Structure 1
Amino acid sequence: MQPDDLVLLTGRDHQRVTVAAQEVGLLPGTRARVEGRVLDVTDTDAVVGLADDLSTRYGGADVVISNAVARLLPEESQAERADEFIDVSNTATHTILRAFGPVLRPGGRLLVVASSLGTLGHLDPRLHHLFDGASLDQVEYAVESWRGAIHHRTAQEAGWPVWLNVPSKVAQVAAVRAVAAERRAHDLAASTLIASVCPGMVDTATSRPWFSDYSQAQTPAQAAEAVLDLVFTEHVDPALYGELVRFGKALDWHDGTPPGEQDTMVTP
């Protein structure tokens, strides 16, 4: 990166964002200008405003990484936390795809951090038609139908799992696939990549309450390497475009099995 390049780190807490930007800016080898911005991804106007601002001031964005998550603890009610979880993981993802897709410059990268649970097979077969080959509008409709079923206590009857992370991740990946399907030919010609990414098991405050064995877990820095490999690769592999990518390989969209009722599902 060059001294006139700009890296924006965003988050909801001003102090944490400011400290993070300062720490990254002081890392050995950092040449770009690093700034922190307060941004709540559930604030649609704020996300759209940031995309518009980057388009106006800089002609667009070269790299966009969507990595927001709502922290959920095992003892908490999944249904009671559903709105916050869906707003952060899904509604915000839809907004980011709509806002930043049009301002992504040729050769750019738009990556949504998801999970290996994001393959279609992890859902009950009755729900597959909602996401398989769906447009972004259709994915959004499916997500809101799921939200409504949770509120009306009909979700399990319709086939939705108790664990929010499963349909949430499938919907994230489906949303990325929907946007990528419309842009594929143009983006590949320009070496532009849109994809979802599974970083693997990562030892964080969000995931730690759900696991007892962390012997195979990565640090956040280690997990970032596979994501950055996609950012900095010179040529886009067509086999990865629009797919859920884990450690450099695309996962089969139709793979997976629905979780049992007692399974805990925050698997990365």
Structure 2
Amino acid sequence: MTTTPKIALVSGATQGLGLALVEGLVDRLGPADTVYLTGRDTERVAQAVEAMPGGGAQVRGEILDVADPEAASQLATRLKERHGGVDIVFNNAVMRVGPDDDPRAIVEAYAEVNNFGTTRVLRAFAPLLRDHGRLIVVASSLGTLHYLAPVLHDHFDRLASLDDVDKQVAAWRDAVKDGSARAGAWPGFVNIPSKIGQVAAVRTLARQRREDDTARGILLASACPGMMNTPTSALWWDVSTAPSPAHAAVALLDLALQPVKPSHYGELVRNGEVLPWAPSR
């Protein structure tokens, strides 16, 4: 029986966790399979592809700037024309923030990449998933309602569509920009509402697709890689004993390559376990 070659894509893949995910996919997939290593900088994408070790799956570089409103849909169209669909997508592109950054100055670009970039990837690539496909959004354990004041829970809980998610993220972004968030219940650390918005986007799309995806063996989920030893994390915390990106990537690769657990569908998963979305009532 002929097996259709697998097609995988990783966004934000020129360094750190994204690069480790590509390396892991290359190692665990076969020579007939293809892994797309994507990023927004042409030179860095080319260098990352060139540095990939031989053996395993083929690696192809593509430019994907998720902050560009059209980039994800344009790349999805090209992959559909080339391959007919995709099997594994890791949405890993992220804009990082440092402790010295003024949230009002960076929140627009931050939301554009982390949140609107996420919903763009979901809209573009979820329809391309073949049977038994995986679409995993790299998020954080901070992306649950546990870290948000109860008065704000309705902003992200049980939204009807990705458009509604985008509207709520835009309202939060604007409140940070004009300073009104400081007078409200929003946390000062912009990473928290942003990650909650990412997880809410996955949950929202999963409610719409659950029946069909379940029948086709598709997994749509968000995943927390945990604390990693990276230069950006070191700006905030002591990460000297934290795992490397390569080590952190293992659990995410298992999620993408091992048989689907129905309990993972639409949820935030860390090391194979579902993190509760909301506090117990």
Q: Give TM-score scaled by structure 1 length.
A: 0.90
Name the SS of the counterpart of 1:63 in structure 2: strand
RMSD of aligned alpha carbons: 1.4
Q: Which amino acid aligns with 1:84?
A: A
Q: Is 2:38 aligned against 1:3?
A: no
Task: Give 1:174's aligned amino acid.
Answer: A
Which consecutive residues of structure 2, in runs of 5 or more, have no partner in the other structure?
1-28
Corresponding residue SS for 1:106: strand
CA distance in 1, matches of 2:234, 2:144: 23
Whole-angstrom distance in 1 between the partners of 2:105 and 2:229: 25
Report the counterpart of residue 256 of structure 2 in structure 1.
231
Secondary structure of 1:203 counterpart: coil
Match of 1:240 among 264, 267, 277: 264
SS at match of 2:235: helix
- Cα 1:255–1:16 shift into 2, 3 Å: farther
Residue matched to 1:69 = 94
Shift of 1:155: 1.1
What's the CA shift string for 1:199-255, capped at 9, x where partnerless? 01011122111112532x11010010000001110x211111100000000000014
Q: Could you tell me how far apart the structure 1 residues matched to 2:279 and 2:114 are? A: 21
Conservation of the 8 A alpha-carbon contact between 2:199 and 2:268: yes
In structure 2, distance between residues paired with 1:78 and 1:153: 9
Identify if the C-alpha distance between structure 1 residues 40 and 213 changes in structure 2 by more than 3 Å, giving closer, same or farther.
closer
State how far apart, in whole Å, the 1-side matches of 2:279 and 2:201 are: 17
Whole-Å Cα distance in 1 between the matches of residues 85 and 279 of structure 2? 35
Pair 1:201 & 2:227 matched: yes
Identify which range, 14-23 or 125-134, moves more after superposition: 14-23
- Residue 94 (structure 1) shift: 0.7
Separation in 2, partners of 1:130, 1:170 = 10
- Post-superposition Cα deviations, 1:102-145, rounded to whole Å, max 9, x if no partner, equal 11111110000000000112111111011111132221110011
Mapped partners of 1:31, 1:22: distance in 2: 15
Secondary structure at 1:81 match in 2 = helix
Instruction: Indicate conservation of the 8 Å contact 1:130/1:138, yes or no.
Output: no
Greater mean alpha carbon deviation, residues 222-231 or residues 180-189 = 180-189
Distance 1:186 1:211 in 2: 42
Partner of 1:177, secondary structure, is: helix
2-structure distance, mates of 1:65, 1:212:
27
1:39-50 aligned within 5 A: 39-50=64-75
Determine if contact 2:103/2:177 at 8 Å carries over to the other structure.
Answer: no
Aligned positions of 1:1-268 closer than 5 A: 1-24=29-52, 26-27=53-54, 30-135=55-160, 136-215=162-241, 217-233=242-258, 235-255=259-279
Give the counterpart letter for 2:154 in structure 1.
H
Q: Is the 8 A contact 1:188 1:236 kept in 2?
A: no
Q: C-alpha deviations, 1:80-119, integer Å up to 9, x for none?
A: 1111111110010010001111111111100000000001
Say whether the 8 Å CA contact 1:10–1:37 is kept in structure 2. yes
The answer for unaligned runs of 5 or more in structure 1 is 257-268
SS of equivalent to 1:116? coil
Q: Aligned partners of 1:121, 1:141: CA distance in 2, in Å?
A: 21
* Matches of 2:256 and 2:177, distance apart in 1: 39
CA distance in 2, matches of 1:48, 1:213: 36
Q: For residue 13 of structure 1, what is the amino acid of its counterpart?
A: D
Q: Quick one: distance in 1 between partners of 2:221 and 2:187? A: 25
1:22–1:34 contact (8 Å) kept in structure 2 = no
Identity %: 46
